[in-house]
Amino acid sequence: MIKTLLIITTIILGGCTTKSGSYSYQPTKTSQKYPSQQLASAPSNVYKKNGELHATMRPYSVFGKEYYPTVVRIGDSFSGRASWYGNDFHGKATSNGEGYDMYAMTAAHKTLPMNTVVRVTNVENNQQTIVRINDRGPFVESRIIDLSYVAAQKIGLDKKGTAPVTLEVLGFEPSAMRTIDMASLAKGPRESVLNAFFVQIGSFERFEGALSTKQKYASYNGYSAIIKDTEYNNKRLFRVWLGGFKSEAEARDFISQGHFQGSFIIRE
């Protein structure tokens, strides 16, 4: 469970956890990940009957650059490294409020909507498994997903620890679902509009270090800093996030400017 603190020195930028998190992944098809003018001609349920964009889909400008809200659709695919988490987190709260079950087919992802169902393929052995996203993480820039112990077993990841994988979005379960129901996926929405992105700029074992960083960047280039109280390997960590990014493209552009080394993208 993550708690937002109004106030919070050793900095730690690595590590993965069940508590919250995002990263800087590269989609296989960038046109799917960053909808632009192509969005206007693509079949979509984000349009009103008169052809106008819903308010959540309207483009916006930051420092003179135009951005479009991030859309995740069935069939979107991503690549990166997978890891897994097990007994240390078994029974603890995940980011969507469920108790983590290391024997359930679930996973942590930094940005995909909760209850997104994805197919995970281990590139090294071509083994596959299907999991439901119910947590945030892993808190490592190069890692794309944290699998439950049993899901890691199914693709030969449990003994090695990490492996290159591809993810394919299969659908979006209703928020109340706690299992994977392929029939309900087929009847469900074809896409999801994402917002409220953050960029992690630091992680501290001591509250004082996080507080100092939060105060220093309380208002930074139009973005505001907050502190998240999290746990990793049975240690309490205070993570500092910058908020106010309306799309992943905006957050990615901010990271590319090199303001904070090792920073990465997160959604609540």
Does 93 reside within a domain? yes
206 and 220 belong to one structural domain: yes
Per DSSP, which regions of the chain are E strands? 3-5, 26-27, 60-62, 65-67, 70-73, 77-85, 106-109, 116-122, 128-135, 143-148, 163-172, 191-194, 197-204, 219-220, 223-232, 235-245, 264-267
Contact between 14 and 81 (Cβ < 8 Å)? no
183 and 170 belong to one structural domain: yes
Kindly state the tokens that stand for 75.
């069939």
SS3 2: coil
Whole-number pLDDT of residue 88: 83
Alpha carbon distances (Å) from 256 to 29, 104, 246, 249, 251: 19, 36, 16, 10, 9
SS3 212: helix
Does 35 reside within a domain? no
Does 108 reside within a domain? yes
pLDDT surpasses 90 at 232: no
| 83: CATH | 2.40.40.10
The alpha carbons of the chain give a radius of gyration, in whole angstroms, of 18
Going by their DSSP bridges, the two strands 70-73 and 223-232 should be labelled as: unpaired
pLDDT surpasses 80 at 151: yes
122 and 232 belong to one structural domain: no
161 and 207 belong to one structural domain: no
Does 50 reside within a domain? no
Contact between 16 and 142 (Cβ < 8 Å)? no
160 and 115 belong to one structural domain: yes
Whole-number pLDDT of residue 175: 82
pLDDT surpasses 60 at 33: no
77 and 141 belong to one structural domain: yes
List, for residues 34-64, the tens digit of each pLDDT value: 333 333 334 444 444 444 445 566 889 998 8
List, for residues 170-224, the tens digit of each pLDDT value: 999 988 888 899 988 988 999 999 989 999 999 999 999 999 999 999 999 999 9
Give 67's contacts (C-beta < 8 A, 6+ positions apart): 59, 60, 61, 246, 247, 249, 250
The domain total for the chain is 2
Query: By C-alpha distance, which of 140, 132, 199, 166 is closest to 27?
Result: 166
Whole-number pLDDT of residue 53: 44
Query: By C-alpha distance, which of 256, 254, 223, 222 is closest to 240?
Result: 223
The whole domain housing 204 covers: 3-24+196-267
> Among residues 193, 219, 247, which one ends one of the domains?
193
208 and 180 belong to one structural domain: no
Whole-number pLDDT of residue 55: 55
SS3 82: strand
> Among residues 193, 211, 227, which one ends one of the domains?
193
pLDDT surpasses 50 at 161: yes
Whole-number pLDDT of residue 7: 34
Q: What proportions of the chain, in percent to the nearest 5, are helix, strand and coil? A: 15, 40, 45
List, for residues 71-125, the tens digit of each pLDDT value: 999 999 999 999 999 888 888 888 888 999 999 999 999 999 999 999 999 999 9
> Among residues 193, 214, 247, which one ends one of the domains?
193
20 and 116 belong to one structural domain: no
Does 66 reside within a domain? no
Kindly state the tokens that stand for 158.
């449990």
Q: Report the chain's terminal Cα–Cα distance, integer Å.
A: 11
